[in-house]
Chains A and B, each alone.
Chain A
Amino acid sequence: MKKGYLSLVLHAHLPFVRHPEYEHFLEEQWFFEAMTETYIPLLRVFETLAGEGVPFRLTMSLTPPLLSMMSDPLLQERYSRHLRRLLELAEKEVERTRWLPEFHHSALMYRENFAFARWFYEEKYGRDIITPFRRLQQQGHLELITCGATHGYFPLMLQREAVRAQVRIAVEQYTRFFGRPPRGIWLPECGYHPGDDEILREYGIRFFFTDAHGILHASPRPKYGVFAPVYCPSGVAAFGRDLESSKQVWSAQEGYPGDPYYREFYRDIGYDLEYDYIRPYIHPSGLRVHTGIKYHRITGKTADKQPYIPWIARERAAVHAGNFMFNREKQIEYLVEIMDRRPIVVSPYDAELFGHWWFEGPQWLDFLLRKIAYDQQNIELISPIDYLAIYPRNQVSTPSESSWGYKGYNEVWLEGSNDWIYRHLHQAAERMTELANRFPEADGLLRRALNQSARELLLAQSSDWAFIMKTGTMVEYAVKRTRDHISRFLRLYDQINANAIDEFYLSDLEYKDNIFPDLDYRVYQTTLPARLRQAIPAMA
């Protein structure tokens, strides 16, 4: 008999970065690196476990921008080119390090990883990386959930129509890719604003997550703290993040990823090796960038980094997986004494932590899933949706406004560096709703212009831009993206109002900002709440 449940949640997201107007674009590397280092290694772990019949179940959000990039032919072609060159570099490195035994085994490891990635991407799935996710969901190993359409930060959106559009477009895209509507959502940045759950319910979403204090500070007081969900007044369930298990993985000091035997992220041959040698594999402008080949381990707080030893790191990952499981067992044993039902511990992480930042993360997950399956009796891995089937009756309570950002509220996305964006974002959202209400049945060029206006607004709303402005690196790009999309929106708005749509300009924007090809601008129409519509049939 299981004593309690563990729900591991991986949030996979990258902002929509796609620049057909340039042959090489630096920020597109974010997607390529995450593909090679995170998404493909995770799929490799999941498929291997599934193939061996190891029972496991995880929850994973694949955000709409990420799905858009994964399915985009231009980025598929560019990723393919990237992989070819990466493999070529790995081959050269195997030769170069032949008599450097301390680096040679790592070079062989990278060549194997990249060759696998290439085989997996090109041969096995014909560049369609979404199919393996869908298959794992069908097999019951993954519960895939959605997110805001462009990862817009809901609590700082003034217009309900803007939040509704973020949810509705995401649900529609998910349904197209996975053949059924999503049952859960990862609110962008875990940002919850009371009342947003009403919108989630409209689109059939059954559950979402908040940070720990979102549930702990819910009202009325939640009987089980974060170890059971509450139902919002709308009937949508909210699950709270467990900070204890988060810390073990996240924390820079106490967390597993800081182990001295794990791979050092910052020592990359893109920076370390002689310029002429590495020149063909860095940015075509000559700017040194990360290649993904890194030969050192964290070692400690020293600049004198020791060589990476793959098998020792692997041992550490196994030890850390055992430690994580032991702590969850203890945690659940303790909780069972206090609670009159089986607890659920919800542990969400950014997916890109695994593999990209924490190189051994996928191995750790592999060990953890195997150990949970075979080495213990107390914990069962489930998804929140399963918990709701086991315990359909839950306390009704309204979570507190919260996020998983620094200090727990809205400050990361609303502070001196980025607060200037909101007067523009709100203005654009308001105008978009005005347009959608004014043109209930547009067609032809006008319809295209209205759809493109919606795309520009959505792209401007990505929480990533405000976040980057706050963090102080790559700010120029985030500012440019915000300004570009808003100014494009405003220009389209003026052209629509003047009944003078510049088709050449519009086509250029459709070519550049091609996210959500099936988008219908009418998602921005003001709709009355469903119950009000029923009460006043004449207005429906």
Chain B
Amino acid sequence: MTIEDLENMGRSELLGLAEVQQIQDGRGTVDEQTVQTILQSTTAPPATETNPKTEATAWIEPRPEDPPHAEVTVGPGDDNELPFSYNQTRIVLMVRDPYWVYTYWDYSTDTYQGLTSLFGNWETVPLTLRVYEVTEAATKDGEDKHLFDIPIDGSTRSWYIHVNGPDRAYRVDLGYFHPCEGFVILARSNVVKTPRDSVSPIIDGDWMVIEEDFRKLYRLAGWGRPGSNSAELVESLIKRLEREIGSGAVSSISSPSFGARQKERGFWLVVNCELIVFGATEPDARLTIDGQPIALRPDGSFTLRMALPDGKFRIPVEATSAAGDETITITPVVERQTYHHRTREEG
């Protein structure tokens, strides 16, 4: 991947890539540093751990000896393009975790045209997100606590905001800076509250617990040990990931079932034998091979294929007429012996 490739990507693609590369940007912004980090991580030699993505493609590609199969895709379906915009000027706020919130917004045509004519060009509108903390005290005063502003460009329509405040309520205004009137609000978001990330300081007098005992309970719940929660959750995610994507999705096809290829050896050869027993009788006869009943095809023919390891095998094939009064047995005796020989030119 080159810097040109990255420059041709949209912001969301870059963020997606950053996510894949596990670059914790922390600001939801794409800047020079992010680009460099992505470049480093994508040009670095492939990691030794198996990447779910590469494994996933492994199963889609047919094995070289398989004939080409029809494309199994989702097939032709609806015209399912979703609207780019719902022609509303609005902003919505959502909680990601105790430290981050996510917001998306949309502009109506009226807003777009109004601002474009005011500033001459949509790209030059000084659009801004204004982040507030909502507290009871501040609401009483009629004004929420203004935390910070995030300048945005006209093509951006969502943002992850690092509020870093567990158990607090937030709200975001979408607006722009008017040359004379200052910050003008276009839309106001809903209020969300981030989750707590620690034990509540509030203790109920009727349900008192000795601090030491509570710590024990907390530790016993598997949470208090350093690192244990995330490790456990990561593992459970991996398991769930495997479960959710169903069968076949992540498959490590390492070797065929007989005679694993031995990579550590240079030149190699694997030979196996299968045996096909076939024949025909009256279509209404009953047939067994080595005592096991075998279904006949409508024309009375049959085929059985089986593995043939080294050794000598008797395979009695017995047919009994429908009336049960006649029986014919034919017994092929098959022997397989395998010899290995290896030569190597000196030098």
Q: What is the interface of chain A, defined by CB distance below 8 A to chain B? A: 22, 26-27, 29-30, 33, 94-100, 155-156, 158, 194, 212-213, 216-227, 240, 242-244, 246-247, 250-253, 255, 266-273, 275, 277, 283, 285-290, 295, 303-305, 331, 334-335, 338-339, 350, 352-353, 356-357, 395-397, 400-402, 404-412, 414-417, 419-420, 422-424, 426-427, 464, 467-468, 471-474, 476-477, 480, 483-484, 486-488, 490
Contact A350 B240, CB 8 Å, known A218-B200, A275-B67, A407-B97: yes
Are B308 and A95 interface neighbours, CB within 8 A? no
Q: Which of B131-139, B142-150, B191-199, B279-287 contacts A (4 or more CB under 8 A)?
A: B191-199
In the bound complex, residues from chain B placing their C-beta under 8 Å from that of A155 are: 95
Are B223 and A223 interface neighbours, CB within 8 A? no
Q: Is B119 an interface residue (CB 8 A)?
A: no
CB-nearest residue of chain B to A278: B66
* Cα of A356 to Cα of B158 in the assembled complex, Å: 39
Contact A468 B199, CB 8 Å, known A406-B233, A427-B86: no
* Cα of A468 to Cα of B246 in the assembled complex, Å: 10
* Cα of A477 to Cα of B102 in the assembled complex, Å: 25
Contact of A220 among B94, B202, B289, B304 (CB under 8 A): B202
Are B305 and A96 interface neighbours, CB within 8 A? yes
Are B204 and A397 interface neighbours, CB within 8 A? yes
Q: Which of B10-18, B39-47, B121-129, B180-188 contacts A (4 or more CB under 8 A)?
A: B10-18
Name the 4 nearest CB pairs between A and B, nearest first.
Answer: A286-B69, A243-B222, A225-B217, A219-B200
Are B237 and A400 interface neighbours, CB within 8 A? no
> Among the interface residues A227, A252, A416, which one has the most CB atoms of the partner chain B within 10 A?
A416
Contact of A96 among B16, B190, B306 (CB under 8 A): B306
B66-103 contacts to A (CB < 8 Å): 66-75, 77-83, 86, 92, 94-98, 100, 102
Are A223 and B209 interface neighbours, CB within 8 A? yes
Contact of A221 among B204, B220, B249, B313 (CB under 8 A): B204
Are B247 and A30 interface neighbours, CB within 8 A? yes
> Among the interface residues B53, B198, B199, B208, which one has the most CB atoms of the partner chain A within 10 A?
B199
In the bound complex, residues from chain B placing their C-beta under 8 Å from that of A212 are: 221-223
The minimal Cβ–Cβ distance linking A39 to chain B, given in whole angstroms, is 14
Q: Is B164 an interface residue (CB 8 A)?
A: no
Are A252 and B77 interface neighbours, CB within 8 A? no
Contact of A225 among B200, B221, B253 (CB under 8 A): B221
Q: Is B339 an interface residue (CB 8 A)?
A: no
> Among the interface residues A289, A419, A422, A471, which one has the most CB atoms of the partner chain B within 10 A?
A471
| Other A-B pairs beyond A99-B311, A244-B222, A484-B78, 20, CB < 8 Å | A26-B72, A27-B246, A99-B313, A219-B202, A221-B203, A223-B209, A225-B218, A240-B221, A242-B222, A266-B252, A272-B253, A305-B254, A395-B206, A401-B194, A414-B96, A417-B19, A419-B158, A471-B241, A472-B52, A473-B250
CB-nearest residue of chain A to B277: A95
* Cα of A218 to Cα of B202 in the assembled complex, Å: 9
In the bound complex, residues from chain A placing their C-beta under 8 Å from that of B68 are: 286
Q: What is the interface of chain B, defined by CB distance below 8 A to chain A? A: 12, 15-16, 18-20, 52-53, 56, 59, 62-63, 65-75, 77-83, 86, 92, 94-98, 100, 102, 104, 106, 158, 190, 193-204, 206-209, 213-214, 216-218, 220-223, 228-230, 232-257, 260, 274, 289-290, 292, 304-309, 311, 313
Q: List 16 A-B contacts (CB under 8 A).
A: A96-B274, A96-B307, A216-B221, A223-B208, A223-B209, A225-B220, A251-B232, A273-B256, A288-B63, A338-B217, A339-B217, A356-B247, A408-B97, A473-B52, A473-B53, A483-B81
Contact A417 B16, CB 8 Å, known A96-B306, A286-B69: yes
* Cα of A407 to Cα of B106 in the assembled complex, Å: 29
CB-nearest residue of chain A to B260: A304
Are A286 and B79 interface neighbours, CB within 8 A? no
Are A250 and B308 interface neighbours, CB within 8 A? no
Are B308 and A158 interface neighbours, CB within 8 A? no
* Cα of A217 to Cα of B196 in the assembled complex, Å: 6
Are A288 and B59 interface neighbours, CB within 8 A? yes
The minimal Cβ–Cβ distance linking B76 to chain A, given in whole angstroms, is 10
Q: How many A-B residue pairs have CB under 8 A?
A: 306
CB-nearest residue of chain B to A15: B244
In the bound complex, residues from chain A placing their C-beta under 8 Å from that of B230 are: 407
Contact of B79 among A240, A283, A487 (CB under 8 A): A487
CB-nearest residue of chain A to B93: A158
Contact A213 B86, CB 8 Å, known A98-B306, A221-B203, A423-B104: no
In the bound complex, residues from chain B placing their C-beta under 8 Å from that of A220 are: 200, 202-204, 207
In the bound complex, residues from chain A placing their C-beta under 8 Å from that of B255 are: 303-304
The minimal Cβ–Cβ distance linking B282 to chain A, given in whole angstroms, is 22
> Among the interface residues B15, B208, B257, which one has the most CB atoms of the partner chain A within 10 A?
B257
* Cα of A271 to Cα of B250 in the assembled complex, Å: 12
Contact A221 B256, CB 8 Å, known A243-B229, A246-B236, A423-B92: no
In the bound complex, residues from chain A placing their C-beta under 8 Å from that of B73 are: 476
Contact of B213 among A338, A353, A416 (CB under 8 A): A338
In the bound complex, residues from chain A placing their C-beta under 8 Å from that of B193 are: 194, 401
In the bound complex, residues from chain B placing their C-beta under 8 Å from that of A287 are: 62, 69, 72
In the bound complex, residues from chain A placing their C-beta under 8 Å from that of B104 are: 419, 422-423
Contact of A251 among B208, B235, B257 (CB under 8 A): B235
* Cα of A96 to Cα of B258 in the assembled complex, Å: 13
CB-nearest residue of chain A to B263: A303
* Cα of A33 to Cα of B249 in the assembled complex, Å: 13
* Cα of A353 to Cα of B53 in the assembled complex, Å: 22
CB-nearest residue of chain A to B200: A219
CB-nearest residue of chain B to A283: B72
Are A271 and B235 interface neighbours, CB within 8 A? no
Contact A244 B195, CB 8 Å, known A99-B308, A414-B102, A484-B77: no
CB-nearest residue of chain A to B289: A95
CB-nearest residue of chain A to B66: A275
Contact A243 B221, CB 8 Å, known A350-B243, A400-B196: yes
Are B223 and A213 interface neighbours, CB within 8 A? yes
The minimal Cβ–Cβ distance linking A249 to chain B, given in whole angstroms, is 9
Contact A416 B66, CB 8 Å, known A244-B221, A474-B245: no
* Cα of A480 to Cα of B67 in the assembled complex, Å: 28
* Cα of A268 to Cα of B222 in the assembled complex, Å: 36
Contact of B237 among A26, A30, A253, A405 (CB under 8 A): A405
* Cα of A216 to Cα of B203 in the assembled complex, Å: 13
* Cα of A405 to Cα of B233 in the assembled complex, Å: 7
* Cα of A338 to Cα of B216 in the assembled complex, Å: 8
In the bound complex, residues from chain A placing their C-beta under 8 Å from that of B220 are: 225, 227, 244, 331, 334-335
In the bound complex, residues from chain B placing their C-beta under 8 Å from that of A246 are: 222, 232, 236
In the bound complex, residues from chain A placing their C-beta under 8 Å from that of B52 are: 471-473
Are A250 and B235 interface neighbours, CB within 8 A? yes
In the bound complex, residues from chain B placing their C-beta under 8 Å from that of A99 are: 306-309, 311, 313
In the bound complex, residues from chain A placing their C-beta under 8 Å from that of B308 are: 99
The minimal Cβ–Cβ distance linking B216 to chain A, given in whole angstroms, is 6
Are B80 and A480 interface neighbours, CB within 8 A? yes
Contact A286 B311, CB 8 Å, known A95-B306, A419-B102: no
Are B96 and A213 interface neighbours, CB within 8 A? no
* Cα of A240 to Cα of B195 in the assembled complex, Å: 16
